[in-house]
């Protein structure tokens, strides 16, 4: 029973760490990354569709993304969607290919990005701690119902804390990597 709670906690904490990775991948670092355009939605036959479902998004070089819509008549719509997504990007169309050059980041913008990264990391830490709190509450309930002993309770608290510490360390490591990436010129 306690093992199930610990496995569940570890799984949920893993998801929080994975979510942080996804969020940080969307933060622009000056290097081209296809995930930068994930929030862009395009009007496609009356439905709002993610850009990666109407076009091929690829990294052309370290500072340029190439977007190739699958249908020629989608080129202006995709270009407009990228401009209106408030990502600070200015697409340039050349035939069927839309090139999205990434402007270099200023020092001030880099610092803002680092603040945003730290905020996302803190949100992930809070999520992990909330999971720990929920699991420990479930363990206390088991103790109250006399389904486990006090020794089991103490052992479970230690194990859950170890799992929590491991995931918080992963979050700190991911944040440090992203900060290092942002500070590269």
pLDDT tens-digit series, residues 157-181:
999 999 999 999 999 999 999 888 8
Q: Is the pTM of this model over 0.75?
A: no
* Beta carbons of 65 and 57 less than 8 angstroms apart: yes
Query: Mapping DSSP to helix (H, G, I), strand (E, B) and coil, where does residue 48 land?
Result: strand
DSSP class per residue in 59-128: EEETTEEEEEESSGGGHHHHHHHHHTTTSS---EEETTEEEEEPPPPPHHHHHHHHHHHHHHHHHHHHHH
Domains identified in the chain and CATH numbers: 2-26+106-183 (1.10.132.20), 34-101 (3.30.1360.40)
pLDDT tens-digit series, residues 125-158:
999 999 999 999 998 998 888 888 888 889 999 9
């Amino acid at each position: 029973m306690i093992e199930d709670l610990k496995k569940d906690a570890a799984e949920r904490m893993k998801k929080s760490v994975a979510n942080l990775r996804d969020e940080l991948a969307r933060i622009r670092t000056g290097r081209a990354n296809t995930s930068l355009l994930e929030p862009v939605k395009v009007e496609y036959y009356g439905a709002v569709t993610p850009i990666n479902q109407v076009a091929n998004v690829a990294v052309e070089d370290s500072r340029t993304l190439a977007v190739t819509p699958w249908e020629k008549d989608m080129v202006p719509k995709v270009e407009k969607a990228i401009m209106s997504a408030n990502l600070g990007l200015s697409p340039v169309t050349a035939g069927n290919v839309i090139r999205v050059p990434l402007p270099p980041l200023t020092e001030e913008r880099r610092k803002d990005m680092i603040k945003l990264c730290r905020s996302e990391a803190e949100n992930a830490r809070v999520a992990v701690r909330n999971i720990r709190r929920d699991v420990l509450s479930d363990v206390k309930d088991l103790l109250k119902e006399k389904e486990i002993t006090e020794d089991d309770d103490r052992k479970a608290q230690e194990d859950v804390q170890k799992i929590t510490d491991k995931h918080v360390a992963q979050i700190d490591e991911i944040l440090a990597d992203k900060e290092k990436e942002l500070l590269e010129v």
